[in-house]
Amino acid sequence: MTGDLDLAEGAARVARPDEAVSLDELQLAARNHGLPLEALRYDVTPVGLHYLLVHYDIPDVDPDAWRLAVGGAVSRPVTLDLDDVRARPATTARVTIECAGNGRARLLPRPVSQPWLTEAVGTAEWTGTPLAPLLDELGVGDDAVAVGFRGADHGVERGVEQDYERGLSLDDARTGDLLLAYEMNGQPLPPQHGAPLRLVAPGWYGMAHVKWLTHIEVLTEPFAGFQNDTAYRLTQAEGDAGEPVTRMRPRALMSPPGFPDFMTRTRVVDVGDHELRGRAWSGGGPVRRVEVSADDGRTWADAELAPATSRWAWQAWRYRWRADTPGRTTLCCRATDESGEVQPVEQPWNRQGMANNLVQRIPVLVRQR
Ligand SMILES: Nc1nc2c(c(=O)[nH]1)N[C@H]1C(S)=C(S)[C@@H](COP(=O)(O)O)O[C@H]1N2
Ligand SMILES: [Mo]
C-alpha cells in the first residue's frame, strides 16, 4: 500500500521572503476552511462553521459496509460494525480542536503548506464510546507500548504513498479521555469530519484525531508512521529529527470588533466603549489568564475569564476597551495556561509551521462620528 512516488514538486519547503501565497496553497485553503472568527461567539461551534482539514480526499465510506478492526497485541481482537460501536457505553464530551498548522501563513519565512492565518479551530460536542475500556476488554498484552489509528483515506505526501495514520503511546491512548466518536453536535458525523467514526483525542492538536477510522492496532514497538515521525515535528533545518508535535499550546482569539473592510478585513469601530470578546484554550490544562493589548503589544491588561464549560473546551473571555483616539491601532490578546506557559509576541518559527501560537493581531480603524 505504501511506496515512494516521483512527485518532487510536493516536497516540504519554505517560501522565499518575498514569495506570495501560491495557487497550490490557495487550492488547499479553498478545500480546508477555517472558523469565521465571528463564530467564536458560540460556546459550541455549529457544524458547518467548525474548521476543516483533510490531507487527501474525503473517502467514500459506505456506513453499512464499514468495519472497525481492533487488533495487534491484544488477546481478543474484534471487528465491529457501527451498531456494535453504538451499542457500547456512550459519553458526550465538549472538545476544542485546533490544527497544529494554525498560524502558519503568518510565519516569516512561510512554510509552504495549508496556509492558515489564525482560524483553524472549533469546539464540538462529540458523542461516542470511550477507547480505554474497549482496549481493556480486549486484553492488552504486557509488551504493548503504543496504539496505531488508521483512516480510510489514502494519498501521497512528500513522495510517500500512505493511508492517513497516527500513533499514540499506550499511556496517552488509555489515560486521555479518548473517544471513538460517531456524532458531532448530536448529529451523525458529516462526511468531512470523519463519518462514520473518528478518534477524538482531547487536548491534542488536530492531527491526532484520526477521521474515517478503520483500524486500531496495539503495538509492541513505538508507532513509526509518516505522520508521527516525519510530518508533525518541530524542526529548524531540513533533516533534523526534531521534537514531536503533541498537545495544543495556549492560545487566545478575539472576535473581531466593529465591522470589516471587505478586502483587508481591517475593522472599523467608533470612538467609545467596546466589549471585546473571545475564547482561549490550551492542551496543557485550563487557561488561567487572558490579557488584551490595544497598542500592538506594548501594554497589556487583564481580561475577565470565564471558567471552562468542560475540561477540554475553550473558555470565554471579555474586556471593556475604551477607544478614545481616532486613527489606526492594533488589538492583540494572549493566553497563559495552568502550567504558566504564555503565548509569545515573537514568532516561534519552525520549518513546518507547527504549534505556532504567536499572538493574534487585529488592525482597527477608530473613527470619530
Ligand atoms: N483520516 C484522517 N484523519 C485526520 C486528517 C486526515 O487528513 N485524515 N486530518 C487531521 C488533521 S491535520 C486535523 S487538523 C483534523 C481536522 O479535523 P476536522 O476536519 O474535523 O476539524 O483531523 C485530523 N484527522
Ligand atoms: Mo491539522
Q: What CATH number is associated with residue 303?
A: 2.60.40.650
153 ligand 1 Cβ < 6 A: yes
Q: Cell 472558523 appears where?
A: 35
Residue 2 pLDDT > 60, yes or no? no
Residue 134 pLDDT > 80, yes or no? yes
| H or E stretch covering 288 | strand 287-293
Atom of ligand 1 nearest to the CA of 55: 7
Do 201 and 296 fall into the same domain?
no
**Nearest-CA residue for atom 5 of ligand 1:** 54
C-alpha 272 – ligand 1 centre gap (Å): 42
DSSP-derived pairing of the beta strands 146-157 and 213-219: antiparallel
pTM value surpassing 0.85: yes
Total structural domains within the chain: 2
Predicted local confidence at residue 12, as pLDDT: 86
C-alpha 6 – ligand 2 centre gap (Å): 25
Q: Which of 223, 244, 265 is the last residue of a domain?
A: 244
Within 10 Å of residue 6's Cβ, how many Cβ atoms? Answer: 6
Atom of ligand 1 nearest to the CA of 165: 1
Do 26 and 85 fall into the same domain?
yes
Give the structural domain span for 313.
251-367
Predicted local confidence at residue 3, as pLDDT: 58
67 touches 152 (CB < 8 A): no
Q: Which of 192, 226, 244 is the last residue of a domain?
A: 244
Mean pLDDT, residues 14-20 taken together: 94
